[in-house]
Amino acid sequence: MNKFFKNIEKDKNGKYYMDYDKINDPDLKTKFLWIETRLREFEK
């Protein structure tokens, strides 16, 4: 989770996002996508 939150960026409008193109490790990218999916499901 700590690595996930360290990779979140903020755009000029103040919205947070993750640039998955910058992540080179495919396993880490998969884990981040899983975490983001779970957080979005929890948000609903």
Domain boundaries of the chain, sorted by first residue: 2-43
- DSSP string of the chain, one letter each residue: -HHHHHTEEE-TTS-EEE-GGG---HHHHHHHHHHHHHHHHHH-
pLDDT at position 43: 84
Q: Is the pLDDT of residue 38 over 90?
A: yes
What pLDDT is stored for residue 12 in this prediction?
94
Per-residue pLDDT, 28: 93
d(CA 26, CA 17): 18
Residue 16: which H helix or E strand, with range? strand 16-18
pLDDT of res. 1: 84
pTM of the predicted protein model: 0.71
pLDDT digits (tens, 9 = 90+) for 6-37: 889 999 999 999 999 989 999 999 999 999 99
Please give the pLDDT value at position 40.
Answer: 87
